Amino acid sequence: MTAKENFFKGFVKENPLFISALGMCPALAITKSIENAIGMGIAVLFVLVFSNLLVSLITMNPKIREKVMPVRIPVYIVLIASLVVIVEMVMEAFLPDLFETLGVFIPLIVVNCIIFGRAEAYAGDHKPLESVVDGAGMALGFTGAIMIISLIREVLGAGSITIWGNIKLDLTFIFDFLGIEPISMFLQPVGAFFTLGFILAAIAAIQNAKKNKTSKEVSK
Amino acid sequence: MKQGLTSGLVLLILGIICGLTLSVVNFLTAPIIMQNEQAKKYESLNDLGIEMSQYTITDSSLSGAIDTVYLLTPIDSQTNPIIRVYSVTTTGFSEGLNMMIAVDENMIVVAYVTVSHQESPGYGKDTLETHDFNMVGAVLPDTTQFEAKAKTTVTCDAVLLCFDLVAIQATLDFGGEN
Amino acid sequence: MAELIAIAFAAFFVENVLLTQFLGICSFIGVGKKRSSSLGMGLAVVVVIILSSVVTWLIYNFVMVPLEIEFMKTIVFILVIAALVQMIEIIIKRFSPSLYKALGIYLPLITTNCAVLGVALTNVKEGYNFSQMIVYATAIPLGYLFVMYIYAIIREKMEFSPIPKAFQGIPIAMVLAAILALIFSRFGGLA
């Protein structure tokens, strides 16, 4: 697999959220605005890239690997948790408002299956550079996925697109033109479940269609 | 047994490294976090126009007209005096005229601001928002330099009462230090 | 007392851990397919959350606060939870094989259940005292169990429904959760 394929596999083919259904808690909870999704994405990117790097560095040397392997689960937990605490502190210091909105979901990156899953499934037996590329691709794929959910929820629920702080696109004129109010239901938990459910259904529909196509081609 | 020992050692070393890294990061970020928290907690004090970054702030609650006293201790005690900011509520035409009055250790009024009120538009409201009561620089408990505004006696009396109440409390608070 | 009841009500209905706070969704979607497994998982979560809340609360207030290492809470809590889950597993395996048979397979999954760490962190963030913490840490997992069981009942019935092919599996589970969330969001008006 080339480095490019390795990087982009997290975007579509092995998207952690849409294909593997990992990390659903933050994907539902913090997707009220794109700003939140970007903030969460940066945090996950940092943690995932560094945890993959550190795990692959530790397991690269056969001697260290031999000593670490029996206790690798607590080792990984400590590593990931330390990275998360660093993100937590830096974010609280420099982005206090965002930290406040993301709340408990920043420390909860510790138990996000994506991070642990990549450490266990990929970084443990790949070279450091490959692991970093893999981590970055996966994290960006996750970020893209939660941004799509946020986009749908924010546009339909609040009639705006908040990219960062004051950089905000106001779309209420469309709702005014149509003579309707934004559907605030999409900002509530209901909207989160609905949006993710329909996106997953759409993906399943596309996959099914592809499968049918290939099976038809094969039968021909 | 040896296996268990190595495993324990690995975890111990890792724990120490992580702990050290974290305390370094914490050492760097903790002051900023503290500052942010303080800035948020004492947001209301910003209207007074005192440079808050020069002071460390603590607050204590009281019962009665004066509900909160903020004690501003200067970081550089040579140039700046200690200031106490009083949040005081009295009744003008309507209830709930809330003021913040800053008094320094020489009993001089440094700054004051009306935080919230329910006075009538056109009368008391305008007075509170545009009129200068000329109290900055007054040495409490002397409030003779207070300038009332005609036609809004009740509102002005309420404001003056704020200063009088603060004068009593400030005499108590600063009394022991002089 | 009224305050404790308010905390319990809010934790059980209004801020339901699954439908409002979105904690523990993975287990909700994955395990909530059958009544028996949802009950087993739910009970295991009740036990683990109550125990881990007590332990983490004690460690935080009597060890970490005096040492001024509050910033380490995430890392300490996750280690405590992981160790606790291991210990519970060993203990019930030893003393009650039948209970182990019922709960055993769910226990390893619980370490990565965000509800457990989430409750531990919320306890200290809200600054609950001991009795408030106990009430909160009991009501939250009971709310989890309650919603999970209802959810499993509906999903068992749904097995026989003609669901569009694209919606089979997780998508329809999400839509069902959305409908339950809609019902639970109305409890907010009572609080």
One DSSP character per residue, chain A reads --HHHHHHTTTTTT-TTTTT---HHHHHHSTTSHHHHHHHHHHHHHHHHHHHHHHHHHHHSHHHHHHHGGGHHHHHHHHHHHHHHHHHHHHHHH-HHHHHHHGGGTGGGGG-HHHHHHHHHTGGGS-HHHHHHHHHHHHHHHHHHHHHHHHHHHHHHHSEEEEETTEEEE-HHHHHHHT----GGGGSHHHHHHHHHHHHHHHHHHHHHHHHHHHHHHH-
Q: Which helix (H) or strand (E) holds B39?
A: helix B2-41
Structure tokens at A10: 């997290």
pLDDT tens per residue, range C144-153: 999 999 999 9
- Cβ C43 vs Cβ C174: under 8 Å: no
Do residue B145 and residue B166 come from a single domain?
A: yes
In angstroms, how far is the first alpha carbon of chain B from the final one? Answer: 71
Do residue B86 and residue B163 come from a single domain?
A: yes
Residue C73 falls within a domain, yes or no? Answer: yes
pLDDT score for B1: 61
pLDDT score for B178: 44
Do residue B37 and residue B56 come from a single domain?
A: no
Residue C69 falls within a domain, yes or no? Answer: yes
Do residue B111 and residue B163 come from a single domain?
A: yes
CB contact under 8 A, A93 and B29: yes
- Cβ A22 vs Cβ A113: under 8 Å: yes
Do residue B112 and residue B67 come from a single domain?
A: yes
| Structural domain containing residue C30 | 2-186
- Asked if B20 has any chain A CB less than 8 Å from its own CB, the reply is no
CB contact under 8 A, C118 and A108: yes
For the cut 60, the answer to whether the pLDDT of residue C60 exceeds it is yes
Mean pLDDT of A182-210: 91
Highest mean pLDDT among A125-134, B169-178, C91-100: A125-134
Residue C21 falls within a domain, yes or no? Answer: yes
| Structural domain containing residue A119 | 3-219
Identify which of B174, B165, B169, B173 has the alpha carbon closest to the alpha carbon of residue B99. Answer: B165
Do residue B54 and residue B30 come from a single domain?
A: no
| Cβ contacts of B25 on chain A, cutoff 8 Å | 85-86, 89-90
Structure tokens at C64: 């970490």
pLDDT score for C134: 95
Q: Who has greater pLDDT, B72 or A139?
A: A139
A3 to chain C, closest Cα gap in Å: 31
> Running along chain B, 178 residues long, what does each successive block of 10 average in pLDDT?
80 89 89 81 72 74 77 72 81 79 81 79 75 77 76 80 82 66
pLDDT band, very low/low/confident/very high, at C138 (cuts 50, 70, 90) = very high
For the cut 70, the answer to whether the pLDDT of residue A65 exceeds it is yes
Total domains present in chain A? 1
- Cβ B42 vs Cβ B70: under 8 Å: yes
Total domains present in chain C? 1
pLDDT band, very low/low/confident/very high, at A53 (cuts 50, 70, 90) = very high
The model's pTM is 0.80
Identify which of A192, A193, A22, A26 has the alpha carbon closest to the alpha carbon of residue C175. Answer: A193
Interface of B with C (CB under 8 A): 18-19, 22-23, 26, 30
Q: Select the residue from A47, A193, A198, A212 to test the C interface by mutation, using most C Cβ atoms within 10 A.
A: A193
Total domains present in chain B? 2
Mean pLDDT of A68-77: 85
pLDDT band, very low/low/confident/very high, at A86 (cuts 50, 70, 90) = very high
Distance CA B120, CA B133 (A): 18
One DSSP character per residue, B15-32 reads HHHHHHHHHHHHHHHHHH
> Alpha-carbon torsion A33, A36, A38, A41, what sign?
negative
CB contact under 8 A, A71 and B40: no
Burial degree of A133 (CB within 10 A; 0-12, 13-18, 19+): buried
pLDDT band, very low/low/confident/very high, at C189 (cuts 50, 70, 90) = low
Neighbours of chain B (3+ CB pairs under 8 A): A, C
- Cβ A123 vs Cβ A51: under 8 Å: yes
C152 to chain B, closest Cα gap in Å: 40
CB contact under 8 A, C72 and B22: yes
Residue C52 falls within a domain, yes or no? Answer: yes
Do residue B23 and residue B55 come from a single domain?
A: no
- Cβ A165 vs Cβ C135: under 8 Å: no
Do residue B22 and residue B57 come from a single domain?
A: no
Distance CA B67, CA B44 (A): 14
The label of the residue with tokens 């934790």 reads C11
- Asked if C36 has any chain A CB less than 8 Å from its own CB, the reply is no
CB contact under 8 A, B18 and C75: yes
Structure tokens at A1: 């697999």
| Structural domain containing residue B118 | 50-175
Q: Select the residue from A59, A86, A87, A91 to test the B interface by mutation, using most B Cβ atoms within 10 A.
A: A86
Do residue B56 and residue B98 come from a single domain?
A: yes
Do residue B68 and residue B124 come from a single domain?
A: yes
Residue C191 falls within a domain, yes or no? Answer: no
Interface of C with B (CB under 8 A): 69, 71-72, 75
C37 to chain B, closest Cα gap in Å: 35
